[in-house]
Structures are given as structure tokens and as C-alpha cells.
Structure 1
Amino acid sequence: MGEHVIKLPDVGEGVAEAELVEWLAEIGANVREDEVIASVMTDKATVEIPSPVEGKIIWRGGEIGEVLAVGSPLVRLEVDGAGNVKPGEAAPAEAKPEKKKEEKKAKAKPAEKPAQKTEKPKTNGSANGAANSVAAASTASVASAKSAVPRAEGEKPLASPAVRKRAADAGVDLRRVPGTGPAGRITHEDLDAFFNSDGQTASAPGAGLRRNTSVKDIPVIGLRRKIAEKMEAANNRIVPITYVDEVDVTALEDLRAELNKSRKEGRPKLTILPFLMRAMVKAISEQPHLNAIYDDEAGVIRQHGGVHIGIAAQTPNGLMVPVVRHAEARDLWDCAAEMARLSEAAKDGKASRDELSGSTITITSLGAMGGIVTTPVINHPEVAIVGVNKMQTLPRWNGTEFMPRKVMNLSSSFDHRVIDGWDAAVFVQRLKALLETPAMIFIES
């Protein structure tokens, strides 16, 4: 038998470390060759690490949430044959012999002392007996709380005003609380015992009003940590301005319904987002400085020719932003197909690192949950994000009468350090014009 060490591989060009987000095999488990043993995350891409050999896991190199350097030991396996560990090399998890001996001595010392005090209980046996009686009474109080029945009709439980107020605040009937004080008086300790024993569940009025003092620590790891870091960077670096305007999408919705009716087999169903993507491409051709990355450390704005639109998507693991690359070279159906493919890959956790990076401008939409107005957080280091709010049918005045119209708001945020308010307004107004007259989206400039 030998030992084989699996090291964290290079999971991406330029990546020096990765966060451990999941163990898929426990210590002591036998794993087969190519079986996935762990998942790590870098940026927003999750990478599965398979075992190159068959063996039994005897050591793991970190806990969930730890950041490991590329090349550091990840797993140690017991394998048939020589393995890749030199004979005599100590396992990383192996404790030093000296430490083990010290722990054994520490455990042995307390065991030697009890024999020296064997005669003392004879001198104060009555005191000990009294203490035991009190402890027994307290235990009995706790045990009886669950099965306590109301006192006789008209019998008033004895308790101080403070105890009565505390019981009233908690919705507790004091007749159900056993008292251990003189003449059965109920003390604060009796109330504590009653609360801790779930005794108040027998009381109908207060059953649903019990205090919950539990605290649960949830470690911020994996994608949630990456999202937090991204939001923190956006908040610390960007000075945002948000511009909101209403868009009448009645004509657009009519067109979308007709196109979906006549779509060819294999084509995805159109949502409003592909139309918005095409409208953004046209608007950006007139304001190319909005399709940019602001490197504030270098003091450089990198204006891109290609329009790479990030689509913020909620997944079971959290918010991800797959990127539709070169939207300027895609028609309506191609935008829809690529967006559907990327969204599915992101939800299944199969999106690659390249598919989750490199956006130059982002769309965020919560669909029917989109609310009336939002304040989208810019996807740093981009300079603009377009937010889609929910669609509603509302009455709108056409000059002679009120008519039902389908309307929604666009809530868009811009990096005010490099985008002026006027330019932001011009951009949103151009999107509004294109979406309200959708035929203009298809007219070549």
C-alpha cells in the first residue's frame, strides 16, 4: 500500500488560488478514478476536481470556505502500489507524537486527585443532602412543567408582581407553572424552568407567542462570498446615478406575440429581453462610451467595440451574470437562443468561467417580481446597467380618451464619475423610443 497526494490544479489562466466550496467525498470513503471529490470556485466559476487514481481518502486539505493556493495539497489517498509520496514522509494531518503524549498526560492528571477527598463527605453529609434535595426539587419542577395541570378553580397562584408581569408579557397562565418557593410560591427560576421545558405549549393563548432566542451562524462562502465582494467593490468605488422612465410596450408585446406564434421549430420563445438587447446595440452605436470598462486604478476607460451583454440571472446557488458575447452580430432569435443556453448552463452550474466574465454592459430583470422602480447596482467595473421592471396594464391618456396600455419602467444606473446625467438620460430615452416603436429596432442605420 502507498499514499497519493492530489494537489489543487491550475483551474484557470492567471488564477493563483481558489475557494473550497464543497466536499463530495468524506474521509474514509473509497473513490474511483475520475470520480469528483471536491468543488472549488474562482471568480464566479465553479470547478469540479476529479481523482486521478483509485483509493481511500485518509486526509483532506481544508474546510468549506477556505481559500487554497494552486499547487497546495488537497487530498491524500491510500492506494494500491507505491503512490506518489516518498517513504517516511509524514502526512499533513498527522499530529506530532509529543503533542499526543501531552494530551494523554493532561487527561490522566485529573483522575489521580479524587482519592484524596474520600473522607470529607462524612463531615457535611446533611448539607450535601439538603443541596441534593434542592437539585432534585428543581429537576422535578422542570420535569413536571410539561405535564402540569391548572390549579383548582379559584385557586390563585402565589407569585411576586414582577413574576406576574413577566408571565403576562409571555402569555403564560401561572396556574400551569409549578412553584418551588414557600407555600408553592412561583419564582423567576420556576418560570425559566417552565420556558425551557416547553411547558407553555399546553397553554392555548400563549402557544404561538413564545420567544425565540436562537441564533444561527451561516458562513458566507462560495458564490455568496463572491457576490458580496462584487457588491462591496461596486459600492466602494462607483458613484451611481439612477434614471427611471416609463415605456409603453403595447406595440412591442403585440409584435412579440405574433413572432412567437409563427416561430420556426427549434427556436426559443421570445421574451422582452432579446428586443431590449437589440435596442441597446442600436443605442450604443450612437453612444459608444456607455459600452465600456472603467479601470479606476489605472485611470483608463476601455471602450469596447463589441457589445457583450451580461444577463443577471438568479440561480439556486445565487446571482450569476452569464454573458451574451457580440450581441451586435446577433439577430433577435440568435440573442434569444444564446441567452436561453447561458441561463440554463448557469442554473445547472455548468457555465464556464469565460461564459461568466467579460461583459461590457448588463441587463437585470426580476420579471413579474420586478417591482415598479429599482436601483440596480452596476456590475463593476462596467459603467452602465439597464433594469427591467414589471409590466402592467394601466390607463393612459391619448389626447382624447383613456386607453388601456401595457407599460413598464426602465430603471438604469450609470457610473457618474464617467457618465454625465445628460448622457444617461439620452441613452434611456433612445431605448424608450426604440421599444415603443419596435419596427425601428430592425431598421439598419
Structure 2
Amino acid sequence: MSLFVFKLPDIGEGIAEAEIVAWHVKVGDRVEEDQQLADMMTDKATVEMESPVAGTVMRLAGEVGDMVAIGASLVEIESDADTSAVESRDEQPLGDGAVHASAAMEQAIPVSATEEVTAPAPAPAPASATVPAPVEPSAPAGSKSLASPAVRSRARDLGIDLAKVRTTADRIRHADLDAYLLYHGGTVSGSAPSRADEVSKVVGLRRKIAENMAEAKRRIPHFTLVEEFDVTDLEATRAMMNRDRGDQPKLTLLPFLITAMGKAFPDWPMLNATFDDEAMTVTRHGSMHLGMATQTPGGLMVPVIRDAQSRSVWALASEIARLADAAKTGKATRDELTGSTITLSSLGPMGGITSTPVINRPEVAIIAVNKVQLLPVIVDGEIEARKRMNLSLSCDHRVVDGWDAASFLQAMKALIENPMRLLSA
């Protein structure tokens, strides 16, 4: 029998310590070689720690939320094997391949996903619709019922087992819960029952988001400007391109907005910039590396579209989908989560009328996309139904003046409201 001390390895250049965000073992557990022991978070990434040996866990370094220094003991394992060779291997730093996509951008932003990322809200059943009577499911045991977080939360409040709810849609809806209650003699209440208070420790990605947002608001004097855009012609152009897209990805508004940003930046470079407030230097970037606010199961992340100004709307649509999927499924690399020069955020149809996004340090500007609305508008003295959308631009007032921000939005407006000009070379 021998005692193997698993020391926290070097998990990134300049990293001195990491936070315990999850334990997958406890003292007394039997572990096998390569079994996952813990998840450790640095400033930029969450890394899975795996056991180099098989044996019994004798000691853990601390609790979730504790910090562990690089080189310090993380787990002690009683092993039958000779661990000298393993110890020498343990001293080697981990490569980028060890980084998983629960990795957080050093700067996350307090708004939700792009249109590609946001899951569509469950559509309520029309009042006149016939509500299907639920029956016991024929799905195999252990299969997972598809439902939105809101539906799952309501089902928990009502004490409904989702595995027993049948739906005619691709996922369980609120209407299906209502039908289930009626079918089983229950009643649909207008209010949810009270629930016990829950206290949880803020750790991992959520802790990084909290720290970064507090630091951004503390150190950056924000101002927000909102401009209304007529997207009637752009929406018609987008629909036409989607009808004829062939094997190209489906276009949302985001690729067109990114294209407009890229065309406007040469005249207003102070917005595509980063500010080092320690050295008091501003870097105006020649390329637009666009951060894309993305909602993931672990929290908000910001994958980056490199050289976004040089990509076509089709290429942008493909990259948006690829990066969003990588962030949500844990495959985004560290390079894909760093180096943005400006951030774009969109809640899609849930985007509200306006918003005041928080800047993603060290950037100096962020744009939030609000929802498209069909509104009555006076055009040439006549009332017309037009599709209108607001863009919200938050800027760092130490670097960007109000005139600059307004001029940049007007440059985007001229492009967005003239799709032919927007899409010309």
C-alpha cells in the first residue's frame, strides 16, 4: 500500500490558484485510473481533474468554493501500485486539450444569448384549441422528457412527474400540464404554492460573472444610447435569401447587424477598441473580433468570431451556430473564448423594447439587439405597418463621446435600412 498525493498541476500560463467548483468523489470512495475527481476553475476555464491511479480516497483539499494553489495537494489516494512514475507525470502542465467549454470568458456580460442560442419559448395553446387528454407514456424507462426550464419548474411546484405527461408537440408545454391536471382530477391554480428558501454558494462560472460585472460597473462610467431602426426591407431581403439558400445555414438578423458594424467601424474606430485603465492606453483594433453573448447551462459565456468584418453573412451565420453549439456542449477552446474587441448581445423575440447592457471589460462598447415589432408608422404622410427594432449601445465615456456613439449608430442605420448598400462589396 502506498499514499499517492495528487497535486494540482499547472493548468495555464500565469495561473497561481484555482477554485474548487465541484467534487465528484468523497473520502472513502474507491476510484479507478482516469476517473474524474473534481472540476477546478481558473480565471478563464474550468478544467476536469482525473485520477492518475486507482485506489481509495483518503483526503480532499477543501470544500466547493475553496481556492487551491498550483502544486498544492488536491486529493490523497491510497493505492496498491507504485506511484513514482505517476508522480513525475503529474508535474507536467496540462495542455489546452484539458479545457472544457464550461470555460468562462474572463469578461461575461449580463445579457442573454444570441438568436442562434436562445431556445424558443414554449408556445401557449390557443384558447379555442382542443386540449389532448394525457395518457401514460410509451417511452422507454429512463428516457428524458423534453420541456423548457419554466415548464419543469412549474411541474415541480405542482408535483407532476413529467415522464407521465404526454404531448403532441416536440416538447411538453404548459397546456400539457393543464391537461394532465384536469385529466387526473386536479385543478389549475392561478398561483404557484410557496417553496422553501434555498441558499447556495456562488461558485465557478457564476462567481466569475458576479465579479466581472461588479468590476465593470465599478470601473467604467457607462452611458447608453438607443436608436430605432426600420428593418422592413431587411427582413424581406432576409426572407428571400433564406428561401433560396440551398445548403447554406438559415439567416437570422444577427449576420446582417454584424456586417453593418464591420462596415461602420472604419469611420468610427474608437468603438472597436479596448482600454487598459492601469496603463491608461487605448488600442483601436484594425479587425473586429466580435464577442457573442451566449447562454449556456452553466451561465453566460462570450465566444468570439474572429475577423468578423471580413466574413459574408452566410459565413457569419455558420460561425455563430458553430460557436454557440461549442459553448453549450462544452467544446469551446480557450482561444475561442478570449480576445474580443466589442460584444453583441441578443435575446431574440424576448429582447424587450430596450436594454442597457453592461460593457465587457476591457472593451469600450457593447450592442444589445431588441425585438422586432410591427408598428404603425407615418411614411410620406400615410400610416403604414412597418417592422421596427431598437439597438442599444452602451459605451465607456472615458473613451467614447456621445457624438461618436450617435454617429456610429446613424452609420449602422443607413446600412441596415438599405439592404442593397449593406450587402454590396
Q: Please, what TM-score do these two structures have when normalized by structure 1?
A: 0.69
Within 5 Å, give how 1:310-321 maps onto structure 2: 310-321=291-302
Where in structure 2 are the equivalents of 1:124-163 lying within 5 Å? none
Displacement after TM superposition at 1:53 (Å): 2.1
Q: Say if 2:350 is the partner of 1:385.
A: no
- 386, 403, 408: which one pairs with 1:405? 386
Please tell me the residue identity of whatever aligns with 2:238. R
Which shifted more, 22-31 or 392-401?
22-31
Equivalent residue number for residue 249 of structure 1: 231
- Note the 1:219-234 alignment, pairs <5 A: 219-234=201-216
Q: How does 1:171-186 map to 2 (within 5 A)?
A: none
Q: Secondary structure at the match of 2:250?
A: coil
1:354 aligns with 2:335: yes
Distance in 1 (alpha carbons) for counterparts of 2:237 and 2:374:
17
Q: CA deviation at 1:66?
A: 1.2
Deviates more, 1:251-260 or 1:49-58: 49-58
**Which residue in the other structure is 1:187 paired with?**
none
Which residue matches 2:275? Answer: 294
Residue identity matched to 1:55: G
Match in the other structure for 2:356: 375
2:200 counterpart (218, 222, 239): 218
Q: Which residue number corresponds to residue 170 of structure 2?
A: none
How much does 1:259 deviate?
1.6
Mapping for residues 45-444 of structure 1, pairs under 5 Å: 45-84=45-84, 215-265=197-247, 267-444=248-425
Cα distance in 2 for partners of 1:349, 1:319 equals 13
5+ long unaligned stretches in structure 1: 86-207
Q: Is the 8 A contact 1:27 1:58 kept in 2?
A: yes
Instruction: Tell me the secondary structure at the aligned position of residue 371 of structure 2.
Output: coil
SS of the residue corresponding to residue 230 of structure 1 reads helix
How far the C-alpha of 1:424 sits from its partner, in A, is 0.3
CA deviations on 1:345-390 (whole Å, 9 max, x unpaired) are: 1112332222111110000111111110101111111100011001
Residues 3-53 of structure 1 show CA distances to partners (whole Å, capped at 9, x for unaligned) of: 212111222222222111111223322222222221111224221122222
Answer whether contact 2:373 2:387 (CA < 8 A) is retained.
yes
Once superposed, which parts of structure 1, at least 4 consecutive aligned residues long, lie more than 3 Å away?
A: 211-216
Do 2:53 and 2:83's aligned partners in 1 also have CA atoms closer than 8 Å?
no
Return the alpha-carbon distance in structure 1 between the equivalents of residues 195 and 308 of structure 2.
Answer: 52
State the alpha-carbon separation in 1 of the partners of residues 42 and 257 from structure 2.
31
Hey, what does 2:40 align to over in structure 1?
40
Deviation string 1:182-205 (CA, Å, 9 cap, x unpaired) is xxxxxxxxxxxxxxxxxxxxxxxx
Q: Measured at CA, do residues 275 and 48 of structure 1 come closer, stay the same or move farther in structure 2, by a change above 3 Å?
A: same
From the superposition, tell whether residues 394 and 48 of structure 1 become closer, same or farther in structure 2 (CA, over 3 Å): same
Structure scoring higher RCO (CA < 8 A, sep ≥ 6) equals: 2
Cα deviations by residue, 1:106-158 (Å, 9 ceiling, x for unpaired): xxxxxxxxxxxxxxxxxxxxxxxxxxxxxxxxxxxxxxxxxxxxxxxxxxxxx
Q: Any gaps of 5 or more consecutive residues in structure 2?
A: 86-189
Of the two, which has the highest radius of gyration? 1
Counterpart in the other structure of 1:171: none
Which residue does the alignment assign to 1:176?
Answer: none
Per the alignment, residue 149 of structure 2 pairs with none
**Which residue in 2 is equivalent to 1:26?**
26
Shift of 1:252: 1.1
SS at 2:404 equivalent: helix
Kindly provide the amino acid, as one letter, of the partner of residue 353 in structure 1.
R
State the shift of 1:272 in Å: 0.8
| CA drift at 1:416 | 0.6
Q: Secondary structure at 1:391's aligned position in 2? A: strand
Per-residue CA deviation, residues 185-228 of structure 1 (Å, 9 max, x unaligned), is xxxxxxxxxxxxxxxxxxxxxxx99x979643221111111001
Q: Which amino acid aligns with 2:244?
A: S
Distance 1:46 1:352 in 2: 11
Query: What is the aligned length?
Result: 322
**What RMSD over aligned residues (CA atoms) do the two structures have, in Å?**
2.2
**Deviating more after overlay: 398-407 vs 417-426:** 398-407
User: Which whole-Å deviations, capped at 9, do the CAs of 1:239-291 have from their partners, x for residues lacking one?
Assistant: 111100111111111111122222232x3221111111111111112111211
Compare the two structures and name the one with the higher helix fraction.
1
Instruction: For residue 62 of structure 1, give the secondary structure of its aligned residue in structure 2.
Output: coil
Aligned residues with identical type, % of pairs: 54
The C-alpha deviation readout for 1:158-184, integer Å capped at 9, x for no partner, is: xxxxxxxxxxxxxxxxxxxxxxxxxxx
Q: 2:142: which partner in 1?
A: none
* Partner AA of 2:217 in structure 1: N
Aligned partner of residue 355 in structure 1, secondary structure: helix
Describe the SS at the equivalent of 1:52.
Answer: coil
Partner secondary structure for residue 278 of structure 2? coil
- Residue pair 2:272, 2:342 contacting (<8 A) in 1 also: yes
SS at match of 2:293: strand
Per-residue CA deviation, residues 66-92 of structure 1 (Å, 9 max, x unaligned), is 12111111111121223349xxxxxxx
1:295-341 per-residue CA deviation (whole Å, 9 max, x = no partner) reads: 01111001211211001111111111111111123221111111111
Partners of 2:8 and 2:15 lie apart in 1 by 11
